[in-house]
Amino acid sequence: MKKLSLGAFEELVLLTVGVLEDNAYGVTIKMELESQLQKTVSLGALYGALQRLEEKGWVDSRVGGITEKKGGRRKQYFDITKEGVAALQEVRSMRNELFDRIPASKINWLNS
């Protein structure tokens, strides 16, 4: 497996693609991200991230919803791949491991 390099934004996009299951395309991903992050996500940035994820093989894309409308625009759906899930898992476990090493006193500090 290639060396893991997953940016924070890419990670969020990848997670969202996974969450949305069969209905992940530009607009839905954008909306989901925006409602989670409480801030605007531009399509340009989103496409960039999706493309990098596709290059790394963590998402697949398929085409659907071709219309007769001008320009024959099409809906591009994204699915998370096996490797994508693995990458998320790896990031998560790494995070968990690090989190677990935070001293208990600091965690309790939060609840005090």
Partner 1 sequence: MSSKNSTPRPPRFADWLLESLCSYDYLSTALWDLEELFEYHVKTKGVIRAKWLYLKESLSIIYHLYFKGQSQFALNPIAMFKNNLTIALRNFNKHRSYVLLNVIGLAFGLTVFLLITRYTSYEFSYDTHHENADRIYRVYKELHGLEEQWFDAGTPGPLAKTLLNEFPEVEHAARFSSYGKQLMLANNKSFVEPVIHAVDPSVFEIFSLEILHGDPIQALNYGPNIAISESVAMKYFGHSDVVNEIISYRNQIPLTISAVYKDMPVNSDFIMDLIVNFEWTNNAFEQDLTNWNNNPFYTYILLKEGSSAIKLEAKLPEIRAKYANDPIDEDGQSTTYYLQPLTDVHFASHINWGMEDAVDASRLNVFNVIALIVLMMAGINYVNLATARAMVRVKETGIRKIMGARRPNLLSQFLIESGLLVFGSLVTALMLAHTILPIFAHFVDRPLAFDFINPIFWLQLGLLGLVITFASGLYPAFFMSSFNPLYAISNRGKFKYKSLLRNGLVILQFGLSAILILSAIVLQRQMSFIDTVDTGYTRDQVVILSTRDDAFDDKLSTYMEEIGNVRGVEAVATSWSLPTNVTSNTQANWPGIDDAQRIQMYMVGVTHDFFKLYEIEIKEGRAFDQEIKTDQSAIILNEAAVKAFGWDNPIGREMIRQNGETGTVIGVVKDFHIKSLKEEIQPLQIVLNPNYATLAVRVSGDLNTTMASIEKVYDSFEPSYPFEYRFFEDIYARAYAEDTRTGQLTLAFSFLAIVIACLGLYGLASHKVALRIKELGVRKVMGASSLNIAQLLFKDFLVLVTFAFMFAGPIAYFIISSWLENYAYHIDLTPIPFVATFLILILFAGTTVGYHTYKASVSNPVHSLKDE
Which residues contribute to the site for partner 1 (CB under 8 A)? 25-27, 30, 42-45, 47-48, 51, 65, 71-76
Answer positive or negative: Cα dihedral of 86, 82, 85, 6.
positive
Q: Give 65 or 92: the residue with its C-beta nearer to partner 1.
A: 65
Q: Give 11 or 75: the residue with its C-beta nearer to partner 1.
A: 75
Q: How far is the CB of 25 from partner 1 (least distance, A)?
A: 7
Both tokens of 37, joined, read: 């992050």
Q: Give 34 or 90: the residue with its C-beta nearer to partner 1.
A: 34
Residue 91's Cβ-count burial label (10 Å; 0-12, 13-18, 19+) is middle
Q: Give 71 or 103: the residue with its C-beta nearer to partner 1.
A: 71
Give every CB contact of residue 20 below 8 A, 6+ residues apart in sequence.
28, 29, 32
Both tokens of 75, joined, read: 């809906």
Q: How far is the CB of 75 from partner 1 (least distance, A)?
A: 5
Q: How far is the CB of 61 from partner 1 (least distance, A)?
A: 9
Give every CB contact of residue 41 below 8 A, 6+ residues apart in sequence.
30, 33, 34
Q: How far is the CB of 77 from partner 1 (least distance, A)?
A: 10
